[in-house]
Structure 1
Amino acid sequence: MSEQKLGLIGAMSISVGGMIGGGVYAVLGVVVLQAGAASWLAFTGACLISMGASYSYIKLNQISGKKGGSVTQIEAFTGRSTLAGMIGWTLLFGYVGAMAMYAFAFGGFTVELLHAAGLSEAESVFAIPIQPLISVGAIALFVGLVTAGTQVTGWVETALAATKTVIILGFGIWGFAYGFGTFGFDPVSPIQFGFEELATPIPIVIAIAISFVSFQGWQLLVYDQESIRNPERTVPIAIYASILLTIILDGMIAILVFSYASIDQIVANPEVAVAFAAETFIGPVGFFIIAVSALLSTGSAILGTLFSSAHFAKGMIRAGLLPDRAGNTDVGGAPPRTTVILGVLTAVLVLIGGLEGIISFGSLMFMVVFGAMSFLAFQQRHRDDVNPIPPLVGLIGSFGAFPILIWNMYTNEPAVFVTVVVTAVAVFAVESLYFGRETIWAGVEQSGRGLADFAADRQANTDPGSAEEASND
């Protein structure tokens, strides 16, 4: 993400950073409340679906010979720029949902740190909840960093990604050592793996659908291929390796959170669940370390996603798939106006939606995009170098999870259901209006000409001279 091209480790750090920021520090508590001790199985299932989708992206890049993500490949294989544009808009709103999720978690951990340090017990400022205010402030900070230039962005992102990965890996190893009584530890409760939860798989399936948004970080590599050395070789390895590493890290942390954080704590603050678990077997220092790691993690996830989505939007503006007023494509790096627009949309979503609503909205957007790309790759199964199984997994998993998530919100979270559905419908309505604007405008012009002709005929029929001529006849 800096001017110097990234190697394999750098590319993996970006991919893993986005997925850990979403999985461990934002979605985890919500998933644990749904799937219980089997949360690690839910994360694993979502990762495998993501793996199928990532295989589809990689194969479509190889077959088409064009580097790029959903918009590039859909246009290359279908020739339908409107369809590609609508998928691109959906993906952009998915990124907005992901950034809102990261920002919400950033605000939650900041509030808990302030409370733990005794610096503030306030829950609101001037009757406005303090958590969303902090989240919006974080968004503004990272918008400023992205507009400052790619070199600043790349340096900060690399530092944050490396730090948080080391911390969360150390936390996982320490937690399991504690749970199994290694090094003389005397655990307060045994580690629970939740295999008995397989007897009732529906909560696990619902949890897979809920956690979908947290496993899209690898997509950033598809759109940043120009900044990666030897992308034809590096990108596939980095994507697959980062997904496998995320399965291990998310699975470890999910097991530890259910084993050591109380349900009351998770219900009250699901985005801070991992810090509560750390406090159980490490103490206040553990809570502080994990909370700081969470700020680094969610912060780097906001930064990386904002940077890449702004560049993605820049390409869409050049292709005529976004309005020219959305940003200046002649500037180097991310267009400032585009970055600000994405930041404002993210802030609005943070302010109007709770954590569950934001997660569900983002998951629905990515289900559509992942499913479309998997379907496109599955259509190429006749090729010798395309294995049909991974795209089929991505296809069934993505489109199968969509109605499951809708059903779960409708039956168990009606308020979230209304918020998410109204927001999603508004997004698709705006997309349809934008890409159908020429047809709509042509219809308006045709209607206008018809009204003008009607008025002219009516005027002619009521003209006094015409009436006199008619009477003389």
Structure 2
Amino acid sequence: MQGAAPKVYLSLWNVIALGIGSMVGAGIFALMGQATLMAGKNVYWSFLIGGVAALLSGYTYARLGSRYPGSGGIMDYFNKGFSHKTLAGALTLIYLGTLVITVALVAKSFGAYASRLFLPDESVTVFTTGLFSSIAILLLGALNMGGVKAVGKSEVVLVAFKLLILTILMLASFGSSVPVGADVIPVKGLDGLLGSVGLTFFAFAGYGMMANTAGNLQNPARTLPRAIFLAIGVVMVLYLVLSYVVLTNVSASSLDKHAETAVAQAAFPVLGVWGFVAVSVAALIATASAINATMFSMLDISRGLARNGQLNAMFKQPFWGRGTQGFFYLLLGILVLTNAFNLVAIANLAGACFLISYLAVFVAHWRLRKETHGNALLIIAGFVLMLSILAAFFYQMFFSQPYLIPLIVLFVAGCFILEIVIRKKIGPKGA
């Protein structure tokens, strides 16, 4: 039609940047310290196992995204893979809720790095961390409302800068051997290793959000698989190398004290104060880009659910730019979560819910494998590995934070109850 604006497509590098931005922000800077506390020197194996699970799951996402190239991503896969619409809708709500928790987690990490960078240690408080976190949520929420083009371009710049800083840190670490004395990070037992894989897999979980870009790709069947595998591969190598950097340059006591900012702490012995500053800046950029990418998926999924009648109409009513009124209220909810809970609790909640959601994607792919031409052995292998990771994760939580298990059960049950209520309002036509 004459006068219609041409559709703006994301490039391969835009999508890779969105994936790396989400994974690295949530993984290295937010969770490296916590994973190392649990696994000790076995954290290498933890990231390797998590990466293999991500590659197998990434295969499923690539096949589904190529066959069903829409902006709905996981929502479309559930709707097509499960004939029972209440089940499909509840699983989508679980995933949407997980994205909200994820933004709160990464925003908490952003606030921790910002507080240590801009304030003296004695001035860092829960209030200052929450203030910096809240500013990031509001600014990046506004950016996502600005449009697809703004998000794609911003991710390329953000990812390029933080990878440059991390590369300098890695090269400097390999060129210098700095002993940490007798206070070294120990080798933990098998239970610590297996329990930590739930966190390290969550550090890769951003690849799933890349599937939501399929509706904004000119050739999704070609671009999406390449983007997913390249992003996971780059991030796996990065995690393994930075694990070495942290284990080599951070003492056990320092890790225990500064677990939330472990990567920046590792820069002190190698690059001094200016290295700490540079890595902290990279951490702020990394966590900001993770929030950015996660919000991108959150906005698309909530709008799609509203179009299907699975969420209130306010999630499709315009607010500002491409944002909706419902998205604005989700931002307010994220602000509450970020300021009400600590990082470890949020990380465990998000990790468990991500594993549940991604297990369901394997089941959906199994049911759709003839349409996607998916390899049955890869689907089964991925499902079994991820189920094992989830079981080990719950085992670890039972002994370390048992109160989180009923919270997870309540969250999942609440999503099913909400979906049942919504389906009753829609009536037989929508069910």
TM-score when normalising by structure 2: 0.89
Q: For each residue in 1:35-87, what CA deviation from the matched residue of structure 2 results, as whole angstroms up to 9, or x when unmatched?
A: 11121221121111111112112223445676752221222133232222111
Cα distance in 1 between the residues matched to 2:87 and 2:372: 28
Secondary structure at 1:436 match in 2: helix
8 Å Cα contact 1:66-1:73 kept in structure 2: no
Cα distance in 2 between the residues matched to 1:384 and 1:234: 16
Q: Is structure 2 residue 325 aligned with structure 1 residue 337?
A: yes
2:88 corresponds to: 84
Cα distance in 1 between the residues matched to 2:80 and 2:351: 26
1:463 corresponds to: none
2:349 corresponds to: 361
Residue 234 of structure 1: CA displacement?
A: 0.8
Q: Is structure 2 residue 387 aligned with structure 1 residue 399?
A: yes
8 Å Cα contact 2:46-2:194 kept in structure 1: yes
2:26 aligns with one of 15, 22, 27: 22
Q: For each residue in 1:418-471, what CA deviation from the matched residue of structure 2 results, as whole angstroms up to 9, or x when unmatched?
A: 2x33543443343223222268789xxxxxxxxxxxxxxxxxxxxxxxxxxxxx
Q: Is structure 2 residue 232 aligned with structure 1 residue 248?
A: no
2:421 corresponds to: 437
Cα distance in 2 between the residues matched to 1:152 and 1:65: 21
2:136 aligns with one of 138, 148, 158: 138
Residue 255 of structure 1: CA displacement?
A: 1.3
| Aligned residue type for 1:346 | I
8 Å Cα contact 1:29-1:273 kept in structure 2: yes
Between stretches 98-107 and 394-403, larger displacement belongs to 394-403
8 Å Cα contact 2:47-2:239 kept in structure 1: yes
8 Å Cα contact 2:90-2:415 kept in structure 1: yes
Equivalent residue pairs, number: 419
| Aligned residue type for 1:276 | Q
Residue 149 of structure 1: CA displacement?
A: 3.6
| Aligned residue type for 1:249 | L
Q: Which has the larger radius of gyration?
A: 1
Cα distance in 2 between the residues matched to 1:405 and 1:162: 33
Distance change in 2, residues 1:159/1:189 (3 Å): same
2:73 corresponds to: 69
| Aligned residue type for 2:173 | G
Cα distance in 2 between the residues matched to 1:409 and 1:334: 39
8 Å Cα contact 1:61-1:67 kept in structure 2: no
Cα distance in 2 between the residues matched to 1:392 and 1:142: 38
1:450 corresponds to: none
Between stretches 286-295 and 400-409, larger displacement belongs to 400-409
Please tell me the root mean square deviation across aligned C-alpha atoms, in Å: 2.8
Between stretches 368-377 and 271-280, larger displacement belongs to 368-377
Q: For each residue in 1:207-241, what CA deviation from the matched residue of structure 2 results, as whole angstroms up to 9, or x when unmatched?
A: 11122322121122211112223211011011011
Distance change in 2, residues 1:382/1:147 (3 Å): closer
* Counterparts of residues 299-310 of structure 1 (less than 5 Å): 299-310=288-299
Task: Give 5+ residue unaligned stretches, structure 2.
Answer: 1-5, 427-431
Q: Is structure 2 residue 377 aligned with structure 1 residue 389?
A: yes
| Aligned residue type for 1:123 | V
2:261 aligns with one of 252, 269, 272: 272
Q: For each residue in 1:140-184, what CA deviation from the matched residue of structure 2 results, as whole angstroms up to 9, or x when unmatched?
A: 2212222344444333333212211222223223222324xxxxx
| Aligned residue type for 1:173 | L
Secondary structure at 2:9 match in 1: coil
Cα distance in 1 between the residues matched to 2:208 and 2:143: 21
TM-score when normalising by structure 1: 0.81
Task: Give 5+ residue unaligned stretches, structure 1.
Answer: 180-186, 443-473
| Aligned residue type for 1:109 | Y
Residue 252 of structure 1: CA displacement?
A: 0.5
2:228 corresponds to: 239
